[in-house]
Amino acid sequence: MKGDLLYEGKAKKVFLVEGDSQALILSYKNDATAFNGKKKANFIGKGKYNNLITAKIFDYLHRKGIKTHFQKSLNDTEQLVTKTTIIPVEVVVRNVAAGSITKRLGIKEKTVFSPPLVELFYKNDDLSDPLINEEHARILTNVDPFEIEQIKEAARAINDLLLAFFQSVNLQLADFKLEFGKDAKGNLLLADEISPDTCRLWDMETGEKMDKDVFREDIGDLIETYDAILQRLEAVK
Ligand code: 5GP
């Protein structure tokens, strides 16, 4: 049964689970934020879409042998996960240039990265999630160099799987962000969410942006877009 609120983030609330100290309930909110919280809005139904889309993707990754925190969906907006201590590093994988890298390094949008580019960011709102290297990660977290390499390898493997998954529903995966955590036994698990909030997804035929960029750039209806993504993914067996 749902216990006390442990933490409230920008997109999710995290609850304890009564009678199971090794599990948590993630409750997806309808709030949307961008540009480190400077742009804010609320979309009725967004929590449901991100919960159900994340469940679908984590279920697929689990079937492909990726170790994740996801256990099961509980209802439209909530899911049961294994409790982990989140490593405060955001791992971004880029197949094609978009977003911050185009501004930071002047790389033209849609430039293809082959092999895909893996970047690390320090998960810290006060510092606006700065780009870091492996040595910074070692200083800022308690992960050792071997674990950082393991995380990057896992991110590359997850990218290969997600590229194929999204391609099967006519979506190009431009980039995405992952977070990892350690469970009570010290196992490294994929954690957090994978949704249109955390991925850039472009329709393979029209090039249309079908992710949170519709909100960031005011170029479309977020709920209609997320609904279209869920419908496509629900067609995958
Ligand atoms: P960028 O570095 O271009 O802002 O983001 C690269 C990719 O990672 C995008 O798909 C973006 O949605 C995701 N991403 C990076 N940082 C965050 C974050 O703090 N929150 C969310 N929801 N997604 C992020």
What pLDDT does residue 237 have? Answer: 78
Residue where the block lists tokens 């983030």: 9
Domain of 138, CATH number, reads 3.30.470.20
pLDDT tens-place string over residues 52-90: 999 999 999 999 999 999 999 999 999 999 999 999 999
Out of 53, 198, 199, 225, mutate this one to test ligand 1's pocket (max ligand atoms within 8 Å of CB): namely 198
What pLDDT does residue 36 have? Answer: 87
Question: Which domain covers residue 11, as residue numbers?
Answer: 2-82
199 lines ligand 1 (CB under 6 A): yes
Are 119 and 212 within one domain?
yes
Are 128 and 169 within one domain?
yes
Are 94 and 143 within one domain?
yes
Question: How many domains does the chain divide into?
Answer: 2
200 lines ligand 1 (CB under 6 A): yes
pLDDT tens-place string over residues 169-222: 999 999 999 999 999 999 999 999 999 999 999 999 999 999 999 999 999 999
92 lines ligand 1 (CB under 6 A): yes
Are 211 and 127 within one domain?
yes
Q: Which long-range contacts (CB under 8 A, 24 or more apart) does 180-183 make?
A: 180/84, 180/86, 180/87, 180/89, 180/91, 180/151, 180/154, 181/69, 181/84, 181/85, 181/86, 181/87, 182/84, 182/85, 182/87, 183/22, 183/69, 183/82, 183/83, 183/84
